[in-house]
Chain A
Amino acid sequence: EVQVVESGGGLIQPGGSLRLSCAASGFNVRSNYMSWVRQAAGKGLEWVSVVHRDGSTYYAESVKGRFTISRDNSANTVFLQMNSLRGEDTAIYYCAREYYYDRRGYPSSMDVWGRGTTVTVSS
């Protein structure tokens, strides 16, 4: 079965750090674009970061310089290192696989989502 499972969320003080994990099964993370998406309570979905198949990484402006996405191919796991956390980073963080490629080789959608892990930044 193709699935991803997130872990690592929790309660953290402002300025602190957390490392989220996304363990994949049924497919290889190194062969796919893998994204993190977050959702604050009562708000919409916000794309956070992506790691491409070639290892290139991109970030939303709101997290650039504070968050780092990486992957461990041997563990088939994607990580999101979150530093200098702020109250506005409080959200459910979802890991998702990007899939269904268009003619130019870009994935067009996110077809596999985890249940999410909750990050609460508060003193």
Chain B
Amino acid sequence: SSELTQDPSVSVALGQTVKITCQGDSLRTFFASWYQQKSGQAPVLFIYGNNNRPSGIPDRFSGSSSGDTASLTITGAQAEDEADYYCNSRDVSGYHMVFGGGTRLTVL
């Protein structure tokens, strides 16, 4: 399958830890990446290669992957973390990328 599955919505209390998951067959073979998108803005890469942060991304964001599931963890969620989060990976063929459906994170 070329699909990546995410929970549509997740909520977290301010300052608490939250995990957003992404499941798909391609994750057994290829790295996962995670993107944050705020309303009216372009996506921003937050995690690449399963668990690497680009420069400028806060270290409260971390990634992991095992088997067919990748996870994005926010340790000590802040109000500004409220956004949509998308995972992606290469398709099982390797020829192109595929995105998960996105998870809307609400910080309570």
Contact = CB atoms under 8 A, between A and B. Distances in A.
A111 B45 contact: yes
Interface stretch (A9-17, A21-29, A39-47): A39-47
B48 A111 contact: yes
Contacts of A35: 96-97
Interface residues of B, number: 27
A42 B101 CA distance: 11
Given A108-B48, A109-B33, A50 B102 contact: no
A47 B49 contact: no
Contacts, number: 73
Interface of A: 35, 37, 44-47, 50, 58, 60, 94, 98-100, 102, 104, 106, 108-111, 113-116
Contact of A115 (B33, B42, B102): B42
Given A108-B31, A108-B33, A50 B96 contact: yes
B98 A109 contact: no
B56 to A, nearest CB: 12
A114 B99 contact: no
Given A44-B102, A45-B102, A47-B97, A108 B49 contact: yes
Contact of A47 (B35, B98, B102): B98
Contacts of B49: 100, 102, 108-109
A102 B89 CA distance: 11
A45 to B, nearest CB: 4
A58 B93 CA distance: 11
B42 A45 contact: no
B30 to A, nearest CB: 7
B27 to A, nearest CB: 11
A47 B30 contact: no
A47 B90 contact: no
A58 B48 contact: no
A115 B89 CA distance: 22
B2 to A, nearest CB: 10
21 contacts: A44-B86, A45-B35, A46-B99, A47-B88, A47-B98, A47-B99, A50-B95, A50-B97, A60-B96, A100-B33, A100-B52, A106-B30, A109-B31, A109-B45, A109-B49, A110-B35, A110-B43, A111-B48, A113-B43, A113-B44, A114-B42
